Amino acid sequence: MPIPLEDNYNDVIGKAQRGLNLPDDALAARIGMPESVITKLKEGSMDEIVFDKISRALNLHTGALIAMAKKDWYPDPVRLAGLEQFNTPYEDYTVNAYVVWDPDTKLAAAFDTGASAKPMVDFIASKGLKLEAIYLTHTHPDHVADIATLRTANQPVYSCNKEPWDGTELFDAGHEFNLGGLRIETKQTSGHSRGGITYIIHGLDERVAIVGDALFASSMGGGMVSWADALATNRRYILANPENTVICPGHGPMTTVGQEKAHNPFYPEYKPSAS
């Protein structure tokens, strides 16, 4: 079964409202309409005039937001040699983790753990891979829940020095790692979390960005630390990559830079008919 999108259109609107500090009454005043029209839209009304006014007020792309409301878009499947996604249940939602490996040397790295790392451990064994290291995108509980299972041979676990985790080796954003013939860049995509890291992997058939909760297919993580930083670092360090770059989010399906430029409501400037 395909992994559902992490957010619906109401989630997108809600995140933008919180980021801009515009509760329903303030948003209604900004768009010059009664608060009841916002309530109706959130309950399923498809009034495109209201969608357009709300989108403009929240710096969202109207067409992309309406497509989410109509459930008209889902990212194309991603299949890439040297990359595997793992999706495990955590409380009432699911969380992703990833294994990346150099097909020539069979050296592998894990990125986050998911709620259970057993599927990752089993996969690594079935493919005859050697797990060299574990990298954390950030330290929210759902992403670090099963380090003990994943760390089968005392592999190093790395986390950003702005968001340390007990037992990890710390690094500054900008540091590079090597994995066989692969090169791993680290970029600071803070905003959702204080020390959020995006790992840019070079050397597979396509560039890969493992982004944690910085960005989702057609959405993004909430700006729990800084909404402005979340938007800005996503633009600078994720969406500036080539369009075929595979985006591996902490929740929801994998996507690509090109698809997010075309379909993510939070980045209207990339659309030909930006609102």
Q: How many Cβ atoms are within 10 Å of 77's Cβ, its own excluded?
A: 8
Residues 42 and 126 in one domain: no
Laid out side by side, the sheet with 169-171 consists of 83-90, 93-101, 107-111, 130-135, 157-160, 169-171
Flag whether 78 is in a domain: no
Residues 260 and 141 in one domain: yes
Kindly state the tokens that stand for 57.
Answer: 């007020």
| Beta bridge pairs of residue 131 | 108
User: Where among 70, 97, 113 does a domain terminate?
Assistant: 70
| 3-class SS of residue 138 | coil
Verify that 23 and 130 share a domain, yes or no.
Answer: no
62/196 same-domain check: no
- The pLDDT assigned to 118 comes to 97
Cα–Cα distance, 174 to 170 (Å, whole number): 12
Whether 77 is covered by a domain: the verdict is no
Give me the domain span that covers residue 19: 9-70
Based on the domain organization, do 43 and 147 belong to the same domain? no
Considering the domain architecture, whether residues 217 and 116 belong to the same structural domain is answered as yes
Distance (Å, whole) CA 54 – CA 57: 5
Per-residue confidence of the chain (275 residues) as pLDDT tens digits?
A: 899 999 999 999 999 999 999 999 999 999 999 999 999 999 999 999 999 999 999 999 999 999 999 999 999 999 999 999 999 999 999 999 999 999 999 999 999 999 999 999 999 999 999 999 999 999 999 999 999 999 999 999 999 999 999 999 999 999 999 999 999 999 999 999 999 999 999 999 999 999 999 999 999 998 889 999 999 999 999 999 999 999 999 999 999 999 999 999 999 999 875 44
Q: Give dist(CA 216, CA 58) in Å, integer.
A: 18
User: Cβ–Cβ contacts within 10 Å for residue 44, how many?
Assistant: 9
Residue 212 near residue 135, CB atoms below 8 Å: no
Q: Strand (E) positions, the chain? A: 83-90, 93-101, 107-111, 130-135, 157-160, 169-171, 176-179, 182-188, 197-202, 208-212, 215-216, 219-220, 246-249, 255-256
Quick one: which of 56, 27, 29 has its CA closest to 42? 27
Say whether both 213 and 252 belong to one domain.
yes
Residues 96, 156 within the same domain: yes
Residue 58 near residue 220, CB atoms below 8 Å:
no
Name the 3-class secondary structure at 202: strand
Number of domains comprising the chain: 2
